[in-house]
Structure 1
């Protein structure tokens, strides 16, 4: 006979749960943002899903660790031959199994597992290993419903017996004439379950659903509490009275374990394929990339050739020296490091790396191939849009000394205006490019009629080609409006410059890191840094405006500014409840599946590519 069959059963169930957690699809746990990420990672590989450490559901790792810990205890106990005669083992397995069952049954997205809602105005708390538990109410699963820890008859009966003992002591004291003596006897009926219910109601009222004033519903699952137990020794009418009071508070009370037969089957989620909309919204970083020498010039044949191409010419070094002299003033010496490896050398290496990225997959090739899969023949219905601020900053940056001769011509052609015939603008843009004329229907780039869309412009339910759009568009638009509703402030680096209120463009303003001329590289018409948002100084106002226009129109926003995408996702999480991204609370049809077992296809809200900087002036063969 198998020793301790009840523990053997718990061990097997924990084994199954632990294995299921490893394969449980993250899409089942938390909705991923529909962001098409084609930027290169450190290994040189590209992935179509936007990866972030914030994509995982908070608390899942802690639950898995707890299952592993209890499983290890059970394994050690049952592997001991003396377990047949050993004292009963204390285990949390029934509770952990109940929590996992609620995770399986919860409607996605699951926001948090094991979240403590603190008392008063303190922020909610996700437990960390070794941290002290602050006062509050612990919720096992924050999703469509909020199950909490279970209890059982014996525990509640013990609590009732303790209450009865206080009541008996109080009556004995009154019989002995000690009327004024303090007493622990209850004046009103109460117990730990009712206190949990009140704490949950308080937490629910202090944490409405993201973006609304709706109070979340509460489900209290009491897996081991039975108002009509088969053992008469565990019967107490106060248990049923407790349940009635909970329901009277508006709490949904569920009793008993989930039926194992009805538990959802853990399967890997379908592969999601993100595709762009046929109208693309371009931010400043992409406008820079579209005119960049890196995008249009012939490709280097090797890494050595790429490095050699972007060794600054003598003419450029001399111009750089003169600019530093003008910036420093007549009495200050030039920092020669700015002209050496840590200055021009660092920027040259960054441009060479971008050239290697272009060798791997050309930006215009990528755009054409992706759009051809969703557009009409010849990309006839494809349109490119941008904001007035992105257009103006692009022209100021490129037409200054920063842009090379051909880069200036391309920028002027992109925004040539109605006075220039379309064929002439196309000729000016594609001249000297390694691509044939009208490889992409970029011209004309259309410009929105205002910096931000009016309040009446809401994200549509369906795309231009009649595909359902993810609710993420609405969440993104709401977050952008909230950020822009607060005032914008000058870039802190502008305020820290005592010589001038105008400084050259920041590197991150065009894309990623070192993708632009260093910050001392001013132009003949100096360029003022873009204003940043007070809500998040990592986000420039024009970047948030671009994201807002794309989201409000239901169009894919194309960007080379990955750091800003990460920043806006952090703001979304903070504004939508702190645990998940806050969309997908209602059933929607944002994706379609191509055939049985096929990939789920969904429209991308944002499309991230690698930056291409203005590089023509840094070429070793460049002559003004």
Structure 2
């Protein structure tokens, strides 16, 4: 038997005054139904689950990729992001319920048994939201943190005191979002409870209220009756909104829109025993909180699959007019590969880097010095390294072949000057500027000084004078030094002067284009987190004096050097394109971006590239077989 309140509305409503509760004529909703109907419902559910399973397995995520311009020859890096977080767990859950339902229907007396308890209605509803929601879909079943605002406690005298940072109250509770849609701007939560669920809650509330009246008459014990109207749906709504406020769209202070899909709640149910005015009030209060409430189920799976929206073709990415250069590009800019005349044939490209006898002897002498003397085993290792299948000379030949297809300077020229991205008035391109970090500059100069050829050292000196305060050499003279003996005409690219950031780690975002704040902010936050973890101890070098110190790596990711992350941070914080030839590091950083929960923001919405990848060019002059002198 249920309970119905007489008099004014429930506690906490606008009405007030005396009231009482009486048993209602409608008891708990009956769940008994014909056995044949139960069997029919199970078969219908099986058909829907099979449709969902086929739909998921054939689904091709329409995701927008991070704004990365990939000019390298191998597979585009953006292919790695063609996925949706949570899609596989959803498929596995559907498969489990599918198997359970099949086993039930295959039982000899299935028609006389109640159907199995599964999550099928919920799983089907979630997939319908995936097929119907604004693209791109970024995650399914993602949990967001809701940070506790009450970080105080009362002492023995009732005085409030701040909690320690490691207190459980500081820990965030998880709030589940079923579908993260519209490039992270929309959160969707699915609730498949029926009216009967809320009615059962109301009956529980009513019973506490009645018990409270009896206790008031006898003046015993505390009351469990509500002082304000509340139920599970309202609590879900408050949790979602709190999590949305605590997890704004990265780069903005705007929380995502929260949609609550109530598939089986009907505030206007015609059957009196399935309705209660508090159901309609619950829906009204949820809307007043700021949630977007959607009632009822989506259409059939087959129809939704046919009508699923499609993403427009991605925009053509262009670099910004200010380019941030990392160490790999600085090396490429001075490399002999980028400037020397090209060979006429493929065979000539390979012949150019067959180590000469003089070079091999120079290599041996250096290793003797490192090991305190000669050794047959060491010499065998040296020769295997020089002449084996993975030898440095072959790698240089491969880079030279890439240069023959399209030179790296030609690639930069075409992207920046022939097809400019940003313009001042829609016609005239802005002046192109090249920037780098102090760490990248200093390490480039050390590398070139140690293993560069004469022309490579000259170019590096022209790009970065050893004494930055030296004004005796004019910019015009430095330009002449850089382009001397290059196959390109002088000033083919406006490289000089390469500007150096005054600080390696900017403290605030400047010049960040608002439409693209999402990815740039995600990249910035990730780089800051990586650098904050510190660097791993660098192993002591076994070489003697003058050897290059191994680059420090990030403590939490040995694939990333500190100077590489600093370079990416300097570009991301300003909204500038970072040009790199280090594709492995870009992949590693993208994995870090997603691992930190920035998948919803790590997408591109505009035309400007945040990262630009080209193939590497190593220092090569000292390895040329047609140049007799070994590196100094």
- The TM-score normalised by the length of structure 1 is 0.70
Distance in structure 2 (CA, Å) of the matches to 1:288 and 1:97: 54
| Cα distance change of structure 1 residues 245 and 533 upon mapping to structure 2, 3 Å threshold | same
C-alpha offsets along residues 289-330 of structure 1, whole Å, 9 cap, x if unaligned? 111122223434555444433222222222222222222235
2:608 is the counterpart of 1:608: no
Checking the alignment, whether the CA contact within 8 Å between 1:140 and 1:149 is kept in structure 2 is: no
Alignment partner, residue 527 of structure 1: 548
Give the 5 Å matches for 1:6-405.
15=51, 22=58, 26-27=62-63, 31-41=64-74, 47=76, 50-53=78-81, 55-64=82-91, 94-104=121-131, 106=133, 110-116=137-143, 138-142=176-180, 143=184, 144-157=186-199, 193=233, 196=236, 200=240, 210=250, 218-237=258-277, 239-240=279-280, 243=283, 253-258=293-298, 265-301=308-344, 303-330=346-373, 335-342=378-385, 345=388, 346-375=391-420, 381-400=431-450, 402-405=451-454
Contact 1:459 1:553 in 2 (8 A): yes
- Indicate how the Cα distance of structure 1 residues 431 and 284 shifts in structure 2: closer, same or farther if over 3 A, else same: same
In 2, distance between residues paired with 1:573 and 1:603?
A: 20
Counterparts of 2:442 and 2:560, CA distance in 1: 18
Q: Which residue of 1 aligns with 2:483?
A: 430
Alignment partners' CA distance in 2, 1:471 and 1:190: 37
Contact kept, 8 Å, 2:505 with 2:570, in 1: the verdict is: yes
Aligned to 1:445: 497
- Separation of aligned partners in 2, 1:251 and 1:210: 20
Q: Which moved more, 1:228-237 or 1:204-213?
A: 204-213
1:274 counterpart SS class: coil
- Please tell me whether the aligned partners of residues 24 and 267 of structure 1 are also in contact (alpha carbons under 8 angstroms): no
**Does the 8 Å contact 2:259/2:294 carry over to 1?**
yes
Mapped partners of 2:146, 2:387: distance in 1: 55
| C-alpha distance in structure 2 between counterparts of 1:242 and 1:276, whole Å | 51
Distance 1:98 1:449 in 2: 52
SS of alignment partner, residue 612 of structure 1: coil
Q: Are 1:289 and 1:614, in contact at CA under 8 Å, matched by a contact in 2?
A: yes
Decide whether the 8 Å contact of 2:534 with 2:554 is kept in 1: yes
Q: CA deviation at 1:354?
A: 1.9
Q: Is the 8 A contact 2:475 2:497 kept in 1?
A: no
Q: Shift in Å at residue 542 of structure 1? A: 2.6
Correspondence for 1:502: none
Aligned match of 2:590 in 556, 569, 572?
569
Contact 1:277 1:556 in 2 (8 A): yes
Task: Deviation per CA, 1:345-386: give whole Å up to 9, x if none.
Answer: 422232222223223332122222222333499989333222
CA distance in 1, matches of 2:525, 2:259: 29
Shift of 1:560: 0.4
1:96/1:454 CA distance change after superposition, 3 Å? closer
Q: Residue deviations 1:257-301, cap 9 Å, x none?
A: 357899974224313311122332211101111111222234345
Residue by residue over 1:420-447, the C-alpha shift from the partner in whole angstroms, topping out at 9 and shown as x without a partner, is: 34554344333333x3313732441322
Distance in 1 separating the partners of 2:288 and 2:417? 59
Whether contact under 8 Å (2:463, 2:498) holds in the other structure is: no
Question: In structure 2, what is the Cα distance between the partners aligned to 1:553 and 1:569?
Answer: 18
* Alpha-carbon spacing, 1:541–1:459, altered in 2? closer, same or farther (3 Å): farther
CA distance in 1, matches of 2:619, 2:442: 16
Select 1:476's aligned residue among 523, 539, 543: 523
Offset from partner CA, 1:30-86 (integer Å, 9 cap, x none): x42111112232xxxx54x63325x522012444566678789999999x9x9xx99
Alpha-carbon deviation of 1:221?
1.9
> Does the CA contact (< 8 Å) of 2:62 and 2:135 recur in 1?
no
8 Å CA contact 2:505, 2:569 repeated in 1: yes
Instruction: Return closer, same or farther for 1:445/1:26 CA change in 2, 3 Å cut-off.
Output: farther
Any idea what the Cα deviations from partners look like across 1:384-406, whole Å, max 9, x if unmatched? 22223322221221122x11122
The 8 Å contact of residues 553 and 559 in structure 2, kept in 1 or not, is answered as yes
Cα deviation digits, residues 500-549 of structure 1 (max 9, x gap): xxxxxxxxxxxxxxxxxxxx7x8x73323334444645433332332233
Residue 23 of structure 1 and its aligned partner are, at CA, apart by 6.1
Which piece of structure 1 moves more, 206-215 or 293-302?
Answer: 206-215
Cα distance in structure 1, aligned partners of 2:601 and 2:483 = 41
2:510 is aligned with 1:458: yes
- Give 3-state SS (helix, strand or coil) of 1:273's partner: coil
Q: Normalized against structure 2, the TM-score is what?
A: 0.69
| Residue equivalent to 1:410 | 459
Q: 1:119 to 1:472 in 2, by over 3 A?
A: closer
Partner residue, 1:420? 473
Q: Distance in 2 between matches of 1:430 and 1:613?
A: 18
Give the structure 2 partner of residue 513 of structure 1. Answer: none
2:630 paired with 1:580: no
Paired residue for 1:598? none
Matched position secondary structure for 1:341 = helix
Query: Which residue in 1 is equivalent to 2:24?
Result: none
Contact kept, 8 Å, 1:146 with 1:219, in 2: the verdict is yes
Mapping 1:469-508, distance limit 5 Å: 469=516, 471-484=518-531, 486=532, 488-489=534-535, 492=537, 494=538, 496-497=539-540, 499=542
Task: Quote the RMSD (CA, aligned, Å).
Answer: 4.8
CA shift, 1:247, in A, is: 6.2
Query: Highest CA radius of gyration, 1 or 2?
Result: 2
Displacement of 1:255 in angstroms is 2.4
Moved more, 201-210 or 348-357: 201-210
Asked if the contact 1:403–1:614 (Cα under 8 Å) also holds between the matched residues in 2, the reply is: yes
Find the counterpart in structure 1 of residue 577 from structure 2: 556
3-state SS of paired residue (1:99): helix
Cα deviation, 1:82-107, whole Å, max 9, x if unaligned, reads 9xx99998786654443234335545
- State the aligned residue count: 541
Residue-by-residue CA offset, 1:541-571 (whole Å, 9 max, x unaligned): 3323322332344322110011222233233
Question: Matched residues in 1 for 2:343 and 2:272: separation?
Answer: 86
